[in-house]
Amino acid sequence: MPNSIQEKPTACIALADGTLFYGKGFGATGQTEAELCFNTAMTGYQEIMTDPSYAGQVVTFTFPHIGNTGVTPEDDETGDPVAAGMVVKWDPTEPSNWRSTEELTAWLAKRGRIGVGGIDTRRLTRAIRQQGAPHVAIAHDPEGNFDVEKLVAAARGFKGLVGLDLAKDVTCAQSYKWDEKRWAWPEGYTAIENPKYKVVAVDFGAKRNILRCLASVGCDVTVLPATATVEDVLAHNPDGVFLSNGPGDPAATGEYAVPMIKGVLDKTNLPVFGICLGHQMLALALGAKTIKMNHGHHGANHPVKDKETGKVEITSMNHGFTVDSQTLPDGVMETHVSLFDGSNCGIRMTDRPVFSVQYHPEASPGPMDSFYLFERFAEAMEARKA
């Protein structure tokens, strides 16, 4: 049930325009500055908080029942939360799920992430939609002492995500192998036994479930850091190259990633598959441009149309930048579009097995609407082998 904020507020959200929201803090104490976005998913708050694509962002959850399923290590998309904090309508409730191993509030506190409850998230979401993703400072003080002028100044001092390369902050420190497949009842996670294809996955902030999906279609995956060169990639003699999701401004990350991708395309005829930031990296490498969106796409209920088949997929999205479809060069076609706003959601080269999508097929909101993309990648590698 909704909490009452009759007592002194213990959390404050300060927007850069001076707007203040007071609520009840949970998780870690302290202060952080970030961009504020909203997510419309009804489930998956743990996966959202641990998605590296949310680096530099505080997430407002429009669904009120956050915390009701607790947390479990099996659902982490990376080792620790990456999102800067969370904002919710109601205080997190006692977990009620057989898989839960810990309460959300304790999990956040251990990992240094601030939560703010008791907020009118509908009003906050409207503000984000109307003025664009604002810069904010959020603070949690059990004593309820806030210097609002300093909070507003901190929000205004946040530099924002435009021009910011965050992939270097969330990528792996060194290469590693991945062999774990998707979760399945009753075994849970199991390892791939007879892989068919050698895949190099470039980690701009890769989610674990993406790597599991690659393994599930027969891929022996080697993960390389975001700064990998074309020589690093080709040294593994891969059958295909995967470009992962990740945070920040694609143009900034592209300064070192685009030359690598261009090198792979120039020197080989390898299948290439990209998701999210990887999609934007591929588009930049092919000559297109990316632009910052007003408030981005964040949720697990986004309809996307496949322009080649007419099929509509229910997808999971998390991005604040988008590929400008008007800048796609000859030889590159738009394959998918958002049915919310018509923005680009997929591209492919017309003469080579090189393709990418803006959304997250591994998140399975459809639930299997988009898994064919991993199978398409595997089929392209099989065809090249043949």
The percentage of residues in the chain with a pLDDT greater than 90, rounded to a whole number, is 95
Confidence of residue 161 (pLDDT cuts 50, 70, 90): very high
* Active site annotation includes 360: yes
- DSSP states of 91-121 as a string? PPPPP--TT--B-HHHHHHHTT-EEEES--H
* Active site annotation includes 336: no
Residue 2 predicted with pLDDT over 70: no
User: CB neighbours (10 Å) of residue 115?
Assistant: 28
Catalytic residue among 276, 298, 336, 345: 276
Structure tokens at 340: 């919310």
Query: Residue 158: which of 62, 70, 65, 32 has the closest Cα?
Result: 32
pLDDT at 6: 61
Residue 177 predicted with pLDDT over 80: yes
Give the phi and the psi of residue 54 in degrees, each rounded to 5.
-95, 10
Segment 107-132 shows an average pLDDT of 97
* pLDDT tens for each residue of 304-316: 999 999 999 999 9
- DSSP states of 167-218 as a string? HHHHS-SS-EEE-B---BTTTBS-B-SS--EEEEEEESS--HHHHHHHHHTT
Instruction: Judge contact between 85 and 7, C-beta under 8 A.
Output: no
Segment 306-330 shows an average pLDDT of 97
Distance CA 372, CA 384 (A): 18
Residue 60 predicted with pLDDT over 80: yes
All domains of the chain in start order, with CATH: 11-157 (3.50.30.20), 167-385 (3.40.50.880)
Catalytic residue among 33, 47, 77, 362: 362
Confidence of residue 365 (pLDDT cuts 50, 70, 90): confident
pLDDT at 366: 83
**pTM for this entry:** 0.96
* Active site annotation includes 140: no
